[in-house]
């Protein structure tokens, strides 16, 4: 049930809870290299981070793919990613302490990600973090990826918080745009891109290298200005 006063923190997963986007990009580039396609890593990230796997497959391999073909390709790519990133799996600095303080303050915690269920399990269960969240929304729960706001709106709804009382944590421009479309303020983690990559967004209230730099009260004060 949604409460007019309930506050929520909604976290993107890849690049935000874990600093893994370089491994996602590496696995995508390797996936396409197997098919004779050479892509620019920076351009690919800016164009795709936050989109669902089937959306990326359609954009780069053609809309003729059947649902089954796309699912098989997604499985190949994500298996490669988990193989590459598995030995390095770790939460971004300060994250565990930050969410502990947020829970003490009565703030609901949610994950809103474009990742498939297998990757959600790989990350949240691998780090024993699933129990910390009141709600999780992933690619399997919504039809459209970011920059559409669907996954953030669903995460807020499942948390019992209104969009206006929800703050999103993101590392990618498409994710910040999705938060803007959802009517939510955003905090940018510069794990993947520099601060200037987000200069156009008027919903960004803070930027940080990791969670140790963030103050909860200051974030909500900035969100109400």
Helices (H), the chain: 21-33, 41-48, 53-61, 67-85, 95-104, 117-120, 150-159, 173-181, 216-223
| Per-domain residue ranges of the chain | 8-19+91-223, 21-87
The pTM (predicted TM-score) of the whole model is 0.92
- pLDDT for residue 46 is more than 90: no
Q: How many helices (H) and strands (E) does the chain have?
A: 9, 6
Tell me the average pLDDT across 91-99: 98
- pLDDT for residue 63 is more than 90: no
- pLDDT for residue 225 is more than 80: no
Backbone dihedral region of 59: left (phi > 0), alpha (psi from -120 to 50 degrees) or beta? alpha
| 19 band by pLDDT with thresholds 50, 70 and 90 | very high
Predicted local confidence at residue 175, as pLDDT: 97
Q: How far is CA 16 from the centre of its chain?
A: 6
The architecture (CATH level 2) of 8-19+91-223 comes to: 3-Layer(aba) Sandwich (3.40)
Angle at 175 between CA 166 and CA 61, to 5 degrees: 150
Tell me the average pLDDT across 56-77: 91
Predicted local confidence at residue 131, as pLDDT: 98
What percent of the chain has a predicted confidence (pLDDT) above 90?
85
- pLDDT for residue 1 is more than 90: no
What's the CATH fold of domain 21-87? DNA polymerase; domain 1 (1.10.150)
- pLDDT for residue 31 is more than 80: yes
């Amino acid at each position: 049930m949604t409460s007019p006063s309930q506050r929520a923190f909604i976290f993107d997963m890849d690049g935000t809870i874990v600093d893994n986007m370089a491994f996602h990009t590496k696995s995508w580039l390797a996936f396409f290299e197997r098919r004779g396609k050479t892509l620019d890593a920076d351009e690919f990230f800016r164009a795709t981070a936050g989109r669902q796997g089937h959306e990326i497959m359609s954009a780069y391999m053609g809309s003729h793919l059947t649902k089954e073909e796309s699912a098989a390709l997604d499985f190949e790519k994500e298996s490669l990613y988990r193989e590459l990133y598995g030995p390095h799996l770790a939460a971004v600095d300060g994250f565990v302490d930050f969410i502990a303080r947020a829970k003490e303050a009565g703030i609901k915690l949610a994950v809103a990600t474009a990742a498939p269920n297998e990757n959600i399990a790989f990350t949240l269960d691998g780090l024993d973090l699933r129990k910390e969240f009141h709600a999780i929304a992933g690619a399997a729960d919504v039809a459209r990826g970011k920059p559409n706001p669907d996954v953030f709106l669903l995460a807020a709804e499942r948390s019992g918080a209104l969009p206006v009382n929800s703050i999103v944590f993101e590392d990618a421009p498409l994710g910040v745009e999705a938060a803007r479309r959802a009517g939510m303020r955003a905090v940018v983690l510069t794990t993947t891109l520099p601060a200037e990559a987000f200069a156009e967004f008027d919903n960004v209230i803070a930027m940080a290298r990791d969670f140790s730099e963030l103050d909860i009260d200051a974030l909500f004060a900035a969100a109400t200005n």
